C-alpha cells in the first residue's frame, strides 16, 4: 500500500511539473540515454539483518547508480541496455549464529560489512498509453533480466555464545559469485528530449544456500529488493 501511495504521489508531481513545460509527443525510431539513482530496500529479513536500509551511524542509505541506453521502436515499445552498481557499507549489522564446516556453532557480529552488486540487464518497456496525447503517454511497464556479479566482505567478531559474548577470534571473510536477476518495474518518464522519470521496481536475485562462508551471500536464499528510482534522460 505504501508503494502504491508513493507512486500516486510521484505521478501527481510529474503531472504538476509538466504543466509548466512545453509538451512534446513521444516520437518513434530514436535513441536515448540517461542515468539514474535508486534507493534499495532488501525484502529478505536475513539480508536486512546485515544491510539495513539506513545506516544511522554513518547517515547512509543503500544506493544504486545506473546508466542506460535505449531505442524507442515505436510509441508503445522501447528496448534498453541497463547496467547498474549497487553498493552498501554499514556498521549497523546485527549478530547471528553460524555453523562452521567443523560443525562448531558460534555467534558472529559483522564489523564494516560491505556489499557490491553489478547487474547487467537488457530491458523491454511497454507504454500502454503511448498513443495518447496527455501525461499518461509516459507511463510504462518494464521487464529486464541478465547476469549479476555479487561481492561481499566483512570482518567478523566471533563469540562462543551470544549471551556471554566471550570473544573467540576475529576473521575477515569474503565471497564473490555470478548469478542471474529479473526485474519488474512501473514508472513514468517525460516526453521532452531532455527529461526525467520516476520508477518503482522489484528485483529478484535467487541465491544458493551453500553455507561455504559465514557471509549472508552464502546463507540467504535471495537478495530480492524494491528499488525507488529517479532518472534523467536525453534523446538523440
Query: Residue 37: CB partners within 8 Å, gap ≥ 6?
Result: 63, 64, 65, 66, 229, 230, 231
Cβ atoms 154, 114 nearer than 8 A: yes
What pLDDT, on the 0 to 100 scale, is given for residue 233? Answer: 92
Consecutive 10-residue averages of pLDDT for the chain (236 residues): 45 43 56 95 94 80 94 94 93 88 88 94 95 86 98 93 88 94 95 85 94 92 97 90
Residue 17 neighbours by CB distance under 10 Å: 12
Domain parsing of the chain, residue ranges = 35-132+144-177+205-224
pTM for the model: 0.84
C-alpha cell at 26: 513521444
What pLDDT, on the 0 to 100 scale, is given for residue 23? Answer: 38
Amino acid at each position: 500500500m505504501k508503494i502504491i501511495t508513493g507512486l500516486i504521489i510521484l505521478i501527481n508531481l510529474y503531472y504538476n511539473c509538466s504543466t509548466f513545460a512545453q509538451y512534446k509527443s513521444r516520437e518513434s525510431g530514436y535513441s536515448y540515454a540517461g542515468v539514474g539513482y535508486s534507493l534499495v530496500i532488501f525484502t529478505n529479513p536475513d539480508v536486512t539483518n546485515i544491510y539495513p536500509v539506513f545506516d544511522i551511524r554513518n547517515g547512509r542509505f543503500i544506493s544504486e547508480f545506473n546508466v542506460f541506453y535505449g531505442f524507442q521502436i515505436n510509441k508503445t515499445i522501447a528496448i534498453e541496455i541497463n547496467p547498474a552498481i549497487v553498493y552498501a557499507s554499514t556498521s549497523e549489522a546485527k549478530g547471528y549464529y553460524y555453523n562452521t564446516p567443523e560443525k562448531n556453532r558460534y555467534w558472529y557480529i559483522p564489523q564494516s560489512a560491505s556489499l557490491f552488486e553489478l547487474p547487467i540487464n537488457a530491458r523491454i518497456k511497454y507504454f500502454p498509453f503511448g498513443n495518447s496525447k496527455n501525461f499518461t503517454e509516459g507511463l510504462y511497464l518494464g521487464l529486464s533480466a541478465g547476469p549479476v556479479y555479487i561481492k561481499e566482505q566483512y570482518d567478523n567478531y566471533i563469540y562462543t555464545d551470544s549471551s556471554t559474548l566471550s570473544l573467540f577470534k576475529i576473521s575477515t571473510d569474503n565471497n564473490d559469485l555470478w548469478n542471474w536477476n529479473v526485474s519488474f518495474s512501473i514508472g513514468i518518464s517525460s516526453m521532452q528530449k531532455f527529461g526525467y522519470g520516476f520508477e518503482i521496481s522489484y528485483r529478484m536475485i535467487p541465491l544458493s544456500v551453500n553455507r561455504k562462508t559465514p557471509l549472508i551471500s552464502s546463507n540467504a536464499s535471495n537478495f530480492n529488493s524494491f528499488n525507488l528510482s529517479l532518472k534523467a534522460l536525453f534523446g538523440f
